[in-house]
Chains A and B, each alone.
Chain A
Amino acid sequence: MRTTLIGAGLCLLLALLLWQRQAPQDPLVRRELFSMGTLVQISILPPAGQAGAETDALVNRITRDLQSFHQRWAPTGEGELGRLNDALAGAPAATIPVALRDDLDAAGALCRRSGGRFDPAIGALVRLWGFDDEAHFRSTPPDQAVLAAVLAAGHSLCSARIENGTIHFDTAGAVLDFGAAAKGRGVGLAIGALRAAGVRSAIVNAGGDLQVLGDRGDRPWRIGIRHPRPTAAQPVLATLNLADGEAVFTSGDYERYFEHAGQRYHHLLDPGTGQPAGGMSSATVVSTDPWLADAASTALFVAGPEAGDEVMMAMGIRHYLWVATSGERHVSPALAARLKWSDEPG
């Protein structure tokens, strides 16, 4: 009798183990969309009782919002920024569309705080290097004389005057390109829409730049930071848990680049030299403001290992890390306390 009872108990345990292993239930609802020139993933832990149709309707609304947002911030075309750039092509000053005014003001302030490392007025350089559009992608560096002429024009949002809704440069031909910050604004927009709809747990990841809402059920959201030179043994540089509202943005030299004569030319241009910034392989910033995180990760990459700490302090960023082209890695004290390197034992 006792043997039969033990046997029955074991059968029950075995059945439970097999059921749990073979039928994992992940309550995350995931949706993907192509927007802002990248793949945007929205993962939501829906509130109990919320139907899938409601989640789909919410994601569809966010998709439309992001498409409008993308059009507004595209440097060319019929959106607000495209029209502003058209006006600046023929004149040193132009009226800023109302929808862009606050953000242009904020971007000008960020440009100055970064010491010019984050500068949305480098649109002409981005075009020259062919990083503005898939169709313009090139395989050789641009003519250096042309590049010098673009630099000599001296267009910078740091020094542009913004008065009474008008932006003033010294000369015509300035091109604004918010490729270094627009994704941050878009991710924040999506998280804001989710929060407003009553979602308490979500993560929005736009091509590797992400922000979280709440936590993942009974634990924090757990994020990996890609290794800039990944190997099969170490694809992830480090991991960390995120608190509600935190965003993680990384700028790296490993995605958009071309190689010519054995040298890598990536898309993160130094506004001061017009060349791809040297010294860094990747730079990561954590902040509750995704727009700031986006701009700051670019500024950190451009600043390089020598000026990285100083620029982050000026921009009010406490949580950041970088990997230099030498392979040396550096993490701020505040982030070090919560970061786990993937090659760290235990």
Chain B
Amino acid sequence: MSRADLALVCLLSVAVGASWWHWALPGGSAASVKVTRAGGAAVRYDLGSPRVLRVDGPLGTSTLEIRDGGIRFRSSPCRQKICLRAGWQRRQGAVAACVPNRIALLLEGPGDVGDVGDALDGMSW
């Protein structure tokens, strides 16, 4: 086997791997989350990096937890706790909010027009 042939075999292997990565992985999982609070700039976080966020709103501090590719409200000073009941969010397009404390989470990427995959444009609840 010549050097050129060897290089070709290596390239073929990488191309097959890349094709699987491109087409076979599910498209419904979100890659990042946009955290919005009223009156403040939106901030994006990678869902692949576990962390605990403390976000201040008009009622006090809400605590958010990022873990295992998802995010949830862990605590919030609101009374109804609707945000906590929403639980873990992992899908692209998913939303959770603490409306009284004016904090919202929006899960994003890597969707694209035509890339129906497992992704949803919205959720009715």
Contacts and interface: CB of A to CB of B under 8 A. Distances in A.
Interface of A: 3-4, 6-7, 10-11, 13-14, 17-18, 20-21, 24-27, 30, 32, 34, 37-39, 41, 43, 45, 134-135, 137, 203, 205, 207-210, 212, 216-219, 221-226, 230, 232, 235-236, 239, 248-250, 252, 254-256, 258, 284
30 contacts: A7-B4, A7-B8, A17-B18, A17-B19, A21-B22, A24-B109, A24-B115, A26-B112, A26-B113, A27-B113, A45-B113, A134-B80, A134-B100, A137-B80, A205-B122, A208-B123, A210-B122, A219-B116, A221-B121, A221-B122, A222-B116, A223-B124, A224-B120, A225-B124, A235-B90, A236-B91, A236-B120, A252-B125, A254-B85, A256-B80
A223 B121 contact: yes
A249 B125 CA distance: 7
A46 to B, nearest CB: 12
Interface string B13-35: 01100110110000000000000
Interface in B97-125: 97, 99-100, 102, 104, 106, 109-116, 119-125
Size range of the chain B interface in the assembly: 35 or more
Given A10-B12, A14-B18, A39-B97, A4 B4 contact: yes
Contacts of A32: 36, 104, 106
Contacts of B4: 3-4, 7
Given A3-B4, A26-B111, A39-B97, A216 B121 contact: yes
Contacts of B52: none
Nearest to B114: A218
A134 B79 contact: yes
B112 A14 contact: no
A249 B124 contact: yes
A-B pairs with lowest CB-CB distance, top 7: A226-B125, A208-B125, A217-B113, A39-B97, A248-B124, A224-B120, A137-B79
Contacts of A7: 4, 7-8, 11
B64 to A, nearest CB: 15
A256 B84 CA distance: 11
Contacts of A203: 121-122
Contacts of B87: 230
Contacts of A207: 97, 99
Contact of A224 (B38, B88, B111, B122): B122
A217 B111 CA distance: 13
Max count, chain A CB within 10 A of own CB: residue among B15, B87, B88, B113: B113
A250 B80 contact: no
B99 A37 contact: yes
B112 A224 contact: no
A55 to B, nearest CB: 16
